[in-house]
Amino acid sequence: MKHFFDRTFLFFVLSLILVGVVIYNSIPRNKPANMGVAAIQKTQLSDFKDDFATIDKGDSLTILGVDFSDFRFLVATKDGQRGWIPQEAVDNKGIIYNVELITENEKTAVKNGDTVTFLEQTGDQYNRMMEFKTVDGEQGEVRVHNLTTLTGNNLLKYEYNGGDYYLSKKKFEEKYIGKTFEENEKLYRPAILVKKTPKGLSAQYDLRVFDKNDGKFYSPTITYENGVATSYTTDYIRMPNSFFLKYLPLVSTFLDMDFFSQLISSNAFEIGDIDKDSHPIWFKIAGYILLVFVLIGVIGFLFFLNQIIPFLMFGLLRFRYPLIFISNNIFQKIIWAVIIICTYIWLVLGLCYPLHWWYFIPILLIATWWLTPKILEWFDDFPSNRCPECKSLYTIEYDSEEFMREYQEWRKETKSTRIGSRSSSEWVHDTEITKWSDGSTSSRAVNQRKVTHTTNTYNNDVYDVLYLVREYKQTYKCEHCGFEEYGSRKESKELDRKYKGSYIDTTTTHSGY
């Protein structure tokens, strides 16, 4: 147990946390809810801004996802179009989870958890309100803030996240253009918005298409004619690192590897916020405790992901296998190569994510510069922490000592003695100058402080000293395989001392600045 919680254990645990974050992020959450409903009122199908189709009362719809912040459903119509509609268009029953969001609540008897009937939305996009009626017939008004219908409450795990998948322009054109709508639906992300056109459909996808020519990302809208993707248009996605991505090599190559792309891609749907008013208090407390570990993992994911393979390799040393066939010297060289390669890959992916270069690059490089020696220095210890022969850890212990030789040698030594000291003090200050509107200036003393100067005088006696030196060979042996490492020890005994002269020097120190 002496070395159980050592550096290899710590790095192995950190690597497992990072692996856990990677696995969680790699789990696809892009399958829509596919809940069949019918419109209970006439409404408009819209994209993120404008209406483009009419939904009549009684029309069959399929709910794909939900946006709680804007109180709307992402739906598909029978004729294949997709867009957003207000939640109350398919369900006018909802639960009030936070009565503090009700205006003039003293006029109603509504309590947290009460079910009400939604009437209509009022206000503007900055202050949207929902009028409602209670079971007792009282009417009130509540802010549309994480408000949801009973239907929406059953779709918490289908909260639309606007998840984007990263790929290069070349890969996008190879994968999507010339394919049918059904084929493209099975790829990385389903179409988020689908509109009918005179010749077919236009579909907008949550993709970030990278163009190496300018280092920028674009969101594509594909035009389908006779069921086949024939062309596309793009909208520029404003991102901060275009200059670097334009000139860094292998950006498109990394993005076109599904594993790397998934590391930075987000999912279309995410589980609802743990702070929703509908959750019980015990759920929220457990969620916040878990959130602490998640944040640690997220921070590690953002700035230490390049270390996941080095950490894992270093942690595996404590188990001997599968690295038993790699020597200590070769292992250090492999670690160096892996760190350099992984750091560059994560540098590129992080800039695509996008993490702003002005903080991401310095933190990534400083973290790498600080953590790498923590691995490599472990191999410099004597005796070796890892047996070079059997690859066991912490099994090499002191075994014996053997006298080797003795000899005499002269050494120069200096003995210093303080023979005097003097101090002086003075008050100093800074001057603050103010320039007034009429052109005149004034000054005043600020930050007054006392500064002390101390000068010490030393007499230094110089000697030639003769020592008898004894050298010993120390043997350290592995408890498992018998492998031996050798060290040395010296002990010195003074035989003679000759005075060679003296000199005087002074040093001055300052305090109070």
Residue whose C-alpha is closest to residue 205's, from 178, 187, 179, 227: 187
Q: So what's the pLDDT on residue 300?
A: 64
Residue whose C-alpha is closest to residue 41's, from 145, 126, 148, 117: 117
Q: So what's the pLDDT on residue 134?
A: 87
DSSP 493: E
Q: So what's the pLDDT on residue 286?
A: 59
Same domain, 461 and 482: yes
135-151 pLDDT, tens per residue?
Answer: 888 888 888 876 889 99
Same domain, 59 and 105: yes
Asked if residue 200 lies in contact with residue 224, where contact means CB atoms within 8 angstroms, the answer is yes
| Cα–Cα dist 28/206, whole Å | 14
Same domain, 154 and 227: no
Same domain, 173 and 119: no
Q: Is 360 left (phi over 0), alpha (psi -120 to 50) or beta?
A: alpha
Q: So what's the pLDDT on residue 147?
A: 81
Same domain, 199 and 136: no
According to DSSP, the β-strands at 93-96 and 114-122 are antiparallel
Q: Mean of the pLDDT values across residues 480-495?
A: 96
Same domain, 138 and 193: no
Number of domains in the chain: 3
Same domain, 77 and 106: yes
End residue of a domain, out of 96, 128, 159: 159
End residue of a domain, out of 131, 159, 187: 159
> To the nearest 5 percent, what fractions of the chain are helix, strand and coil?
30, 40, 30
Does residue 337 form part of some domain? no
Q: Mean of the pLDDT values across residues 146-160?
A: 87
Helical H runs in 186-307?
242-247, 251-255, 258-264, 281-304
> Is the pLDDT at 28 greater than 80, yes or no?
no
Does residue 256 form part of some domain? yes
| Cα–Cα dist 302/164, whole Å | 17
Q: Mean of the pLDDT values across residues 92-106?
A: 74
Same domain, 212 and 249: yes
Parent domain of 94: 35-159
Phi then psi for residue 350, to 5 deg, are: -65, -35
Percentage of residues in the chain with pLDDT exceeding 90? 60
Residue 319 one-letter amino acid = F
Does residue 49 form part of some domain? yes
End residue of a domain, out of 159, 191, 224: 159
46-91 pLDDT, tens per residue?
Answer: 997 899 999 999 999 999 999 988 889 999 999 999 999 999 999 9
Does residue 222 form part of some domain? yes
Same domain, 66 and 169: no
Does residue 467 form part of some domain? yes
| Cα–Cα dist 2/395, whole Å | 11
| Radius of gyration of the chain from its Cα atoms, rounded to whole angstroms | 36
Q: So what's the pLDDT on residue 274?
A: 42
Does residue 119 form part of some domain? yes
Same domain, 261 and 200: yes
Does residue 310 form part of some domain? no
Q: What is the CATH number of the domain that holds 199?
A: 3.30.1450
| Cα–Cα dist 68/245, whole Å | 35
Q: So what's the pLDDT on residue 230?
A: 96
Q: Which residues of 92-108 are buried (b: 16+ CB within 10 A; e: fewer)?
A: bebbbbebebbeebeeb
Same domain, 434 and 448: yes
Does residue 277 form part of some domain? no
Same domain, 108 and 192: no
Q: So what's the pLDDT on residue 107?
A: 59
Minimum mean pLDDT among 5-19, 407-421, 431-445: which range?
Answer: 431-445
370-390 pLDDT, tens per residue?
Answer: 999 999 999 999 999 999 999
Q: Mean of the pLDDT values across residues 330-346?
A: 96
Q: So what's the pLDDT on residue 446?
A: 81
Enter the tokens of residue 242.
Answer: 């275009």
Question: Between 228 and 123, whose confidence is greater?
Answer: 228
Q: So what's the pLDDT on residue 73?
A: 95
259-315 pLDDT, tens per residue?
Answer: 899 888 887 765 544 445 555 565 556 555 555 655 665 666 677 889 899 999 999
Looking at 2-106, which runs of residues are DSSP E strands? 35-38, 43-46, 51-55, 60-67, 72-77, 82-86, 93-96, 102-103
